[in-house]
Amino acid sequence: MAANETPVKKNEQVHVTFEDLTHDGAGVAKLDGYPIFVPRALPGEQGEIKVIKVKKNYAIGRLIELTEESEERVEPPCPIFKNCGGCQIQHLSYEAQLEHKRKHVEGVLRRIGKLDNVTVHPTLGMEDPWRYRNKAQVPVGERNGDIIAGFYAKRSHEIVDMPNCIIQHEESDHTVQLIKDLAKKYGIRAYDEEKHRGTLRHIVTRHGKNTGELMVVLVTRGKELPNKKNIIQDIRDNLPHVKSIVQNINPKKTNVIFGDKTEVLWGEEVIYDRIGDVKFAISARSFYQVNPDQTKVLYDKALEYANLTGHETVIDAYCGIGTISLFLAQKAKHVYGVEIVPEAISDAKNNARLNDLTNAEFAVGEAEKVMPWWYAQGVRPDVIVVDPPRKGCDETLLETIVNMKPERVVYVSCNPATLARDLKYLAEHGFETKEVQPVDMFPQTMHVECVAEVVRKGN
Ligand code: SAH
């Protein structure tokens, strides 16, 4: 084969064996090391495919026929699974999903992190891996004059109308359906992304799994919401658990769901939920883990790895509304939390008061700026917990961790690739990763959350 030639041509039909899954759940087959991605194929399967797109470094194929089916293949229970971009692996048995995630983490730690000898435990999964999400963010659109709402189709911005979603709490389904009906009843137009016209952009619901409380957020393009009073009354009449009805205004041409302005239309500004013994107030825009049962599992693991005796000073970086901070504060001497979203920090402070925890303090700002400042002020934590967004920790933050010389670092991560990169940095600067525990926060999807136990060498 010439250097610039690919092993397959467009429209060619080939027989392949699938070895792996991509991050969006497509099967990966390799020909002379050249990957071909084929939606809905599973590792261990073989089949006839037609090549539909050829690029220099990869091709995309369409499955024509499976000649060898995986024993782990199951019938996806959701009728719109094929088109909807929300879940990726409903066609893989739950046991196999958990093992795939464990292996994926192990492989990434080895490849990117150069961490060959770290134990990656079996993924902690759910007994019932359905209906677990406490939050739905559903874009609204129109088709043939009718209001539709649902997730985007895979790799597109086309809305797949969704009568229900079996990874979400039932109450979210009822809410979305009700708001669709109310939009029709009161003539509220859906937002049109292309023309930047219309009113209703997103329906967001949040549900306190352990309190039953419900928040409904209507994200609109402008301040105007026709028939506001009637809509509020209808929501209250139809959703008895609703505690908070909120309008968020997002006038921008953007993919970002929320705008800067939030107005309470009725009820409270927040809803409450509990994780373990800690109660949390959650406002419309604050980050709160979407799977409350597994959050408890995750935080218990983080607490175990923090190994607290009651005498420790702890930093919780990227603390959100202080969830991990307050979990740790029950067992530590003092906890510092830092987070970039001001509303989240205001929730965190309220949450500390709500739980009578006086040994936690919170700062708004970029963790990579606040941590060096704390260091300069003489703060010397025994344990540092980090729970960054997908892009991982900023290098300045890792440098500050190294300078602070904590005994332990607990790294909570939603992206194994950046986790591996950051653990490598820590390994090069005197810290050893002892073990990694994947926790399945997002069953039926390719996402995997991990907690890593890291200790300073020579302790
Ligand atoms: N530990 C929390 C939140 C984790 S999500 C929980 O378990 O609920 C990551 C959080 O990091 C988000 O709340 C996000 O707003 C925040 N964040 C993102 N970039 C940041 C930065 N540079 N500094 C501080 N916080 C940041």
What's the confidence (pLDDT) of residue 3? 56
The chain-wide mean pLDDT, for the chain, equals 95
**Domain span(s) for CATH 3.40.50.150 in the chain:** 99-127+291-456
**Nearest residue to 156 (alpha-carbon basis) of 208, 83, 82:** 83
Q: Which atom of ligand 1 is nearest to the CA of 367?
A: 23
For residue 194, report the distance from its CA to the centre of ligand 1, in Å. Answer: 31
How many Å apart are CA 215 and CA 266, to the nearest integer?
10
d(CA 401, CA 385): 10
Predicted pLDDT at 162: 87
Give residue ranges with CB within 6 A of ligand 1: 287-289, 318-320, 323-324, 338-341, 344, 366-368, 387, 389
Atom 22 of ligand 1: nearest residue by CA position: 366
Beta 383-386 vs 313-317: how paired, if at all?
parallel
Q: What is the pLDDT of residues 119-129, one digit of tens each?
A: 999 999 999 99
CA of 210 to the centre of ligand 1 (A): 23
Burial state string for 88-102 with b = 16 or more CB within 10 A and e = fewer than 16: bbbbbebebbbbbbb
Domain with CATH 2.40.50.1070 in the chain: 135-275
Largest Cα span, the chain: 70
| Main-chain phi, psi angles of 456, to 5 degrees | -80, 135
**Which among 334, 331, 330, 360 is positioned nearest to 348, based on CA atoms?**
360
**Residue 16: predicted pLDDT:** 97
Stretches in the chain below the pLDDT threshold 70:
1-4, 459
**Which residues, in sequence order, are bridge partners of residue 245?**
216, 266
Query: Among 285, 315, 318, 343, which residue has the most ligand 1 atoms within 8 Å of its CB, making it the best to mutate?
Result: 318
**Cα–Cα distance between 168 and 133 in angstroms, integer?**
5
Ligand 1 centre and the CA of 416: distance in Å?
A: 16
Q: Which of 290, 336, 339, 396 has the most ligand 1 atoms within 8 A of CB, as the residue to mutate?
A: 339
* Spatial separation of the C-alpha atoms in residues 241 and 262, rounded to whole Å: 21
CA of 37 to the centre of ligand 1 (A): 33
Q: Whose CA is nearest to atom 21 of ligand 1?
A: 366
What does the H/E/C string look like for 315-348? EEECCCCCHHHHHHHCCCCEEEEEECCHHHHHHH
CATH 2.40.50.140 given to domain 13-68: yes
Q: What is the pTM of this model?
A: 0.92
Nearest-CA neighbor of 312 among 230, 249, 385? 385
- Closest residue CA from atom 13 of ligand 1: 320
Pick the atom of ligand 1 nearest to 325's CA.
1
Q: What tokens were used for 401?
A: 């961790």
Residues of the chain with CATH 2.40.50.140: 13-68
Within 13 Å, how many C-alpha atoms sit on residue 262's CB side? 19
| pLDDT of res. 1 | 52
The residue contributing the CA closest to ligand 1 atom 11 is 318
CA of 321 to the centre of ligand 1 (A): 9
Under 8 Å between Cβ of 367 and 336:
no
Residue of minimum CA distance from atom 12 in ligand 1? 320
What distance in Å separates the CA atoms of residue 392 and residue 319, rounded to the nearest whole number?
14
Q: Return the pLDDT at 271.
A: 95
Q: What is the pLDDT of residue 205?
A: 97
Pick the CATH number of 135-275 from 2.60.40.10, 2.30.30.90, 2.40.50.1070, 3.30.70.2740: 2.40.50.1070
Q: Tell me the CA–centroid distance for residue 388 and ligand 1, in Å.
A: 5
Best mutation site among 340, 385, 442 for ligand 1 pocket (most ligand atoms within 8 Å of CB): 340
- Active-site positions? 414
Count CA within 13 A, CB hemisphere, residue 422: 32
Best substitution site from 206, 273, 287 to test ligand 1's pocket, by max atoms within 8 Å of Cβ? 287
- Fold assignment, 99-127+291-456: Rossmann fold (3.40.50)
Taking CA atoms only, the protein residue closest to ligand 1 atom 1 is: 319
- What is the spatial distance between Cα 179 and Cα 235, in angstroms, rounded to a whole number? 8
Ligand 1 centroid–CA 318 distance in Å is: 4
- Amino acid 24: pLDDT: 86
